[in-house]
Structure 1
Amino acid sequence: MADVPGPLSAFVVGEIRRARGASGMTQEAFGRAAGFSASHVSAVEGTTRALTIDFIKGADRALHNGGLFERLATKFGAPSWFLPWLDAEREATQLRYFEPTLIPGLLQVEHYARTVLRTVENLTDDEVEQRVEGRMSRQAILTGERRPQFVAVLDEAAIRRTGDGLGGIMAEQVAHLITMAELPHVHVHVIPIASGLHIGLSGPFALARSGEGVWVGHLENQLGGDVVDKDDEVATLQARWESVRNEALPRRQSIDLLKEVESHHGPQ
């Protein structure tokens, strides 16, 4: 579960293992009830395989606990609507993100992420910090051994945002974008403001391609988000991706623009 902080993920796995033992279920019996093989259960309990929302839901079913573990993961990790996308993101061989107003979470620095999350008024300080920690740990997919090809398209407005106390944070954020954009498997493209109106201004979206070649999409809105897996809907997102990608500057020109923007950001 990529967006749950490591200690919480380990805690949930430990609690599932203890609950399974207390119920007298072997890994094989538990796996049958949860919908997983005994080897899969063993790998999750041994922390050699990632904890996923599907496994958590299966554990809740097997243990008849009324969804306790899913509520726990949702409360302290990530919103329940986001967890299926995190599974797709973690397993992807290719990732494509379009963001018209913000920096994608996988490319955010800690100070920027914290500032963004603090705009959500119903989050407590502890919940903000838990989500910041989760977002930072989630970024490991870009630096791990099995790195996906990552392509992000941003609108220039997202990197030029200013405001009280934001200058220093944006300078740090844009510097990080430049560092990431120069990695061979990371491509950052910027749509210049001069491009005017384009289809991407309707909202952010993301696409993930699995190792089996299956594409899924993700859409966020003010109330949550949705994983998109129907062929016609994925095709629509892919067409929109081509549109926004065609509006963006090439990779090297985008990095040059990021460097120009970095030079104008500073403490305010």
Structure 2
Amino acid sequence: MTDVPEVLAEFIVSEIRLARGAAGMTQDVFGRAAGYTASHVSAVENGTRALTVDFIRGADRALNTGGLFRRLATRLGAPSWFLRWLDAERTATQLRYFEPILIPGLLQTEHYARTVLRADDSLTDGEVEQLTAARMDRQKALTGDRPPQLVAVLDEGALRRSGDSFSGIMAQQIAHLRTMTELPHVHVLIIPATSGLHIGLSGPFALARSSEGQWVGHLENQLGGEAVDKDEDVAKLQVMWESVRNEALPRSASVDLLKEVETYHGPQ
């Protein structure tokens, strides 16, 4: 498994070392529980061997943390502008996503997410793997005990994107979307190509509603993103949401279109 970014790795290694000491575990005992040799543990703690996501998982297992270090790596590895939205998304009772180009992160397969992230050639392989893992972790919210209601409106163009090495990934992704629509709290609605121009083509956005009834919006752009919670900004996004949702096909017709598009991409 690939490396964790250096600054974050130093922090997590120091916390693992402290937790190991507090538990009274030698490097040998810890290593056997984590699936590594004592020399490997020593090298990671001394900074002569890279910290990996697999080692973090082993540390959580050995120290019985319930996944604490993995969550730290995921959370602290996120860019600062994204943390406000992650909080809103994680605690939401309702989620609204509009995407004109890509499948929303909460509904992406691992292969699709990795392929999309690799399109940014400024990211290292390690960063791509870390971001992919973080995205997969976020999806656990949809299968928990009290999942939020998720409504995703997608433009048909996002479903028909293809290429010599991409059609198989897209076929798998569409099949995953159809599976997700079988969950009672997940709704995927498609704006057909025949709708032509609509307001949503200006860019993706999302909305999250807390248990207290407060809404937070999220906007993405080429330089990052922005969480918005001012009443006037959220109100504008709500108006845009109603507009794009009104352009979309009903739920059953959207599922039929998903089946058609899956055939378009060919067998998985």
TM-score, normalised by the number of residues in structure 1: 0.74
Gaps of 5+ in 2: 23-63
2:177 maps to 177
The code of the aligned residue for 1:227 comes to A
1:255 maps to 255
Superimposed CA distance per residue, residues 132-177 of structure 1 (whole angstroms, 9 cap, x where no aligned partner): 1111111000001120000000000000101121110000000000
1:39 maps to none
State the secondary structure of the residue aligned to 1:82.
Answer: helix
The code of the aligned residue for 1:112 comes to Y
Q: How does 1:1-268 map to 2 (within 5 A)?
A: 12=12, 15=15, 18=18, 74=76, 77-266=77-266
Distance change in 2, residues 1:164/1:105 (3 Å): same
Distance change in 2, residues 1:73/1:91 (3 Å): closer
Gaps of 5+ in 1: 23-45, 57-68
Would you say the 8 A contact 1:217–1:228 is kept in 2? yes
The code of the aligned residue for 1:129 comes to E
State the secondary structure of the residue aligned to 1:152.
Answer: strand
Superimposed CA distance per residue, residues 28-79 of structure 1 (whole angstroms, 9 cap, x where no aligned partner): xxxxxxxxxxxxxxxxxx968989x9xx9xxxxxxxxxxxx9xx954xx222
- Rounded to whole Å, the distance in 1 between the matches of 2:67 and 2:119 is 34
- Rounded to whole Å, the distance in 2 between the matches of 1:196 and 1:115 is 28
Superimposed CA distance per residue, residues 198-237 of structure 1 (whole angstroms, 9 cap, x where no aligned partner): 0000000000000100001000000011110000000000
The code of the aligned residue for 2:258 comes to L
- Rounded to whole Å, the distance in 1 between the matches of 2:184 and 2:251 is 11
Number of equivalenced pairs? 219
Would you say the 8 A contact 1:200–1:240 is kept in 2? yes
1:16 to partner: Cα distance: 9.6
The code of the aligned residue for 2:105 comes to G
Distance change in 2, residues 1:14/1:241 (3 Å): farther
The code of the aligned residue for 1:189 comes to L
Computed over aligned residues only, the root mean square deviation of the Cα atoms, in angstroms, reads 3.1
- Between the aligned residues of both structures, percent identity stands at 72
1:182 to partner: Cα distance: 1.6
1:181 to partner: Cα distance: 1.1
Superimposed CA distance per residue, residues 74-118 of structure 1 (whole angstroms, 9 cap, x where no aligned partner): 4xx222211110111000000000000000000000110011000
- Rounded to whole Å, the distance in 2 between the matches of 1:110 and 1:73 is 18
Distance change in 2, residues 1:14/1:181 (3 Å): farther
- Rounded to whole Å, the distance in 1 between the matches of 2:116 and 2:135 is 12
- Rounded to whole Å, the distance in 1 between the matches of 2:66 and 2:267 is 44
1:59 maps to none
- Rounded to whole Å, the distance in 1 between the matches of 2:171 and 2:97 is 22
The code of the aligned residue for 2:169 comes to I
Distance change in 2, residues 1:232/1:47 (3 Å): farther
The code of the aligned residue for 2:117 comes to L
